[in-house]
Amino acid sequence: MKSVSPVPLNYPKPEQSQAQNSLLNFNLALLFSVAVKDKVFFISDAHLGSQTPSQEKEKEERLISFFQKIEPDACGLYIVGDLFDFWFEYKHLIPKSFQRVLWRLEKLKTSGTQIIYICGNHDFWLGDFLPVQMGIPVHKDGLSVELQGKKIYLSHGDGLAKSDWGYRILKKILRNRVNIWLYRQLPPDIATLLARLVSGSSRGYTSGRETKFLDEYGQFAAQKISSGFDYVILGHTHHPCLEKIEKGVYVNLGDWFGNYTYAVLDKGEIRLERFAK
């Protein structure tokens, strides 16, 4: 009997369209990018709008570059006050000078990074634009969180120095709802001009006096650590520091107009770093 060679069964493979392949690659890339977002970043005190146009341009470019750099790794970004040197919302108006930074924050958030905003002494008049329009939660006071197994206390830090009675009284006046309502009755251009004058005076006051209270910030951090916090993260003083206190760590974030410092939480360990564009 004549043998018959087996015929290979070459069934045609189903063809995928270019669009299907592109969609599959995009989904895999998105899944991978989200999976590796495992670091939390902390910044404060950029004071956008406080300097000369050339200085503001450099600061803004650095800040945008920073947001771009952390996007692949950042599962969270905490802005610990005074991103803006002045922010005041009317019912249908917001400051126009910060659109590029706001757009980059929106892009960062869309990439999967959770952004949390804690008010400082220059932006405590934040309204509902960030939480409602951009989906960024805003906290008016200190915040306690647990991240990567660490208990963390965050606050901008203004008013924490108990011996600074002058500022503590001023803080209550500025945050009074009646005073805020009265201020809102001013035409926006006049209100903005007045605010810049007041903001500059406040910043000068802070720069000239907060160095006297640095020890009190350390004492405040030590109390929080004694009460069970692993890390205490503050801003406001514009003096970056990372100090081990007993079993915890106190971090002051410094600023983003001279030091360009920030903190990063990575696998439960916190570091203070300087951003070089």
CA atoms within a 13 Å half-sphere pointing along the CA-CB vector of 59: 23
How many domains would you assign to the chain? 1
Give the global pTM: 0.78
Looking at residue 213, which CATH number applies to its domain? 3.60.21.10
Closest C-alpha among 235, 243, 253, 183 to residue 218: 243
User: What pLDDT is recorded for position 17?
Assistant: 56
For residue 4, is it within any domain? no
Look up the domain containing 79 and give its range. Answer: 40-274
Backbone angles phi, psi at 53, to 5 degrees: -55, -40
The stretches in the chain having pLDDT less than 50 are 1-13, 32-34
User: What pLDDT is recorded for position 113?
Assistant: 97
d(C-alpha 71, C-alpha 108), whole Å: 6
Dihedral sign, Cα of residue 104, residue 105, residue 107, residue 113:
positive
For residue 23, is it within any domain? no
For residue 12, is it within any domain? no
List pLDDT tens digits, range 140-168.
889 999 999 999 999 998 878 776 666 66
For residue 13, is it within any domain? no
Per DSSP, 109 falls in state H
Q: Which amino acid makes up residue 248?
A: G
Q: Which amino acid makes up residue 174?
A: L
Antiparallel, parallel or unpaired: β 248-252 and 150-154: unpaired
Dihedral sign, Cα of residue 108, residue 113, residue 114, residue 119:
negative
Backbone angles phi, psi at 121, to 5 degrees: -90, -10
For residue 31, is it within any domain? no
For residue 62, is it within any domain? yes
Per DSSP, 226 falls in state H
Question: Which residues make beta-bridge pairs with 118?
Answer: 80, 139
For residue 22, is it within any domain? no
d(C-alpha 36, C-alpha 40), whole Å: 12
Number of continuous H segments (helices) and E segments (strands) in the chain: 7, 11
For residue 174, is it within any domain? yes
